[in-house]
Structure 1
C-alpha cells in the first residue's frame, strides 16, 4: 500500500474485505471520509490513522481481534459515526469526549480521568442502543454522576455491565449509590443490568415513571437477595431474571414500589407477556399477593431453579385468562406446536397437576423430569387440552 498511497491520496471512501494489518501509510490518505474495516482480522490500528482529520465514518464492526485504539483518536474532530460493535476493546482512547459522535455503540470505562466514565458526560448526542462496560472502574458516586445519564434522552436501550470475577466488594452501599447515579431518562424502552454486585437495587429500577419500558433483563447479580419492584411498569412485556445466586424468596417487594406514595398501584405486571427465571439455585418461595397479577402472561420459563417446589407455582398457574409456558430447556418458541402451551421440565421438584385446570387456553401439556407426579386426579385437566 506504501507505493499506492500517493496515487490514492484524494480517495474519499475505502473498504476492506480481507485485511490482517492496517499499514501506517493509511495516514497519508488525508482526504478520506469513510473507512470500513468490518470483519477484518486487524488487532490494532496505527497511530497514523489519527492524521485523517477529514474522516467522518469509521466502521470496525465485528473486528473481533481489535483490543486497542490509537491514543490520539480525539484528533478526529469530524468523526460522527464510529461503529465498534463486535470489537473487544479493553478501554476507550483518552479524550473521546472531544469528538462529535452522535453514534457510539458502547463505552468501556477506563481507570484514568481521560478515559473514565467522566468522558461520557461530554458525549451529549448518544442515541439508540448503548452499552457501558467495566463499571467496576467507577470509583465513587461523583464519577457516576459526572456521566450525566439522565440528560441522554436519545438512548432507547441501555445496558449497564460490571465485569465478572471474584473481586472483593468493599462497600455495598457505595455500589448501590453508583448505580443510583447512573439513572437513565424516563423515556427508556429497554434496560439490561449485568454483573451488578450490590445487594439491593436503587428505587429507580422499576419505578412506574418509566412508562415506555418494554423489556428488562437483570443478569448475574449474584449478591442480590431481593428483586427490584418491577410490577408497576405499565408497558413491560418481557422480563428476564437470571444468575441471582443468593435470592431465596420473591415476595411483595417484586410487585409494588413502597417508596412511591403518590401513585395509585395497578394490578402488577399489567402488560407482561414473557417471564424468564434462570440459574437461581437458592430460590425456594414465590409469593403472588395480587389476584389479578400477570393478566397477559403467555410465556413462563423456569430453568435451573432446583429449590423451587411445584406447590410454589400454584399461585401463578391458576389464573383463568393466562396461557403460560414454563421451560427448563430454554425453548420459548416452537417446542410444542399449535396454540399456547405449558411445559414443565426439571425446574421444580413437584407439581400439583390440579392447578392447570383453569388454564382454559392450554392445548398441549408436557411434563418431564418430575418423579413426584404419580397420577392425575379426575377432571384436573382443562377441556381445551389436545395433546
Structure 2
C-alpha cells in the first residue's frame, strides 16, 4: 500500500452495480505515504458506510464521497494536505476526530464551510480536534444540541470568546469540554 498514488475507478470493481460497496460498514485507509487522490464516482457509493478512518496519508488532497448519510464515525489523522472543499453529507455523524491536519477550518478550507458542516451534523456527540494549527474559533451559536464531548488540543491559533447567553444553544447536552495546552505533545 506504500506505493499507491491514486484510488481510481478500479477500486470500485465492476461499475455495472448501481452502488459499489453496497453493504460495506467500515473502511480504513492507513499508512499510504504516496496516496494523492481519491477518485470519487459520485453515484452514492458506500451507502451503508458507518466508520471511515484515514490515517497517515500525508499527500492526500481532494475530496471524499459526498453522500455518506450512514456515516457515524469519521477519523482523519496526519493528513496535512487534505481539505474538504465541497460539502459532504454527514447528518448521521456521531463522532468526528481530526488529528494533525493543519489546514484552515479543521480540514475544511474555509471556516464558514466548517460551520455549515457542523450545523448539518445533527447527531454528533463527540468532536475531537487535535493539532489543527489553523483552527481559529469554535462557533458557539452553531454547536449541535446533541454534542456531549468536545476535546481541543494543540490548536495554537484558537481563540475562544466567552459566550453570551444569546449565542449559546440552551438545549445543548454538553457534558465534557477539554482544552489542552497548545504546546502539549500528547492527549
Task: Determine if the TM-score, normalized by the shorter chain, exceeds 0.5.
Answer: yes
Question: Closer, same or farther in 2 for the Cα pair 1:185/1:86, shift >3 Å?
Answer: farther
Gaps of 5+ in 2: 99-105
1:179 is paired with a residue whose SS is: coil
1:328-378 CA-to-partner distances (Å, cap 9, x unmatched) read xxxxxxxxxxxxxxxxxxxxxxxxxxxxxxxxxxxxxxxxxxxxxxxxxxx
Q: Of residues 42, 47, 54 in structure 2, which corresponds to 1:60?
A: 54
Which residue of 79, 83, 90 corresponds with 2:75?
A: 83
Q: 1:148 aligns with which of 126, 143, 152?
A: 143
- Give the SS at the match of 1:116: helix
Q: 2:30 aligns with which of 34, 38, 53?
A: 38
Kindly state the Cα deviation for residue 100 of structure 1 after the two structures are TM-superposed.
1.6
| 1:48 Cα deviation after fit | 1.8
Instruction: Considering fraction of residues, name the structure with more helix.
Output: 1
Normalising by the residue count of structure 1, what TM-score does the alignment of the two structures yield? 0.34
Give 1:105 deviation, angstroms: 0.4
What RMSD over aligned residues (CA atoms) do the two structures have, in Å?
Answer: 3.7
TM-score, normalised with respect to structure 2: 0.62
Report if aligned partners of 1:39, 1:63 keep a CA contact under 8 Å in 2: yes
**Which whole-Å CA distance do the structure 2 matches of 1:162 and 1:185 have between them?**
27
Query: Is the radius of gyration larger for structure 1 or structure 2?
Result: 1
**C-alpha displacement of 1:127:** 3.9
* Secondary structure of the corresponding residue to residue 47 of structure 1: coil
C-alpha contact 1:58 1:81 (8 A) present in aligned 2:
yes
**Do the aligned partners of residues 38 and 47 (structure 1) sit closer, same or farther apart at CA in structure 2, a change above 3 Å counting?**
same
Task: Trace 1:251-330 onto structure 2 (pairs within 5 A).
Answer: none
Question: How far, CA to CA, are the matches of 2:70 and 2:125 in structure 1?
Answer: 18
Tell me by how many angstroms 1:188 deviates.
1.9
* Post-superposition offset of 1:131: 0.8
For residue 130 of structure 1, report the CA deviation from its aligned partner: 0.6
In structure 1, the gaps of 5 or more residues are 1-15, 164-174, 193-216, 220-239, 241-387
Distance 2:10 2:110 in 1: 32
From the superposition, tell whether residues 120 and 35 of structure 1 become closer, same or farther in structure 2 (CA, over 3 Å): same
Q: Name the structure, 1 or 2, with higher relative contact order (CA <8 Å, separation 6+).
A: 2
The number of aligned residues is: 160
**CA deviation after TM superposition for structure 1 residue 187, in Å:** 2.8
Displacement after TM superposition at 1:79 (Å): 2.4
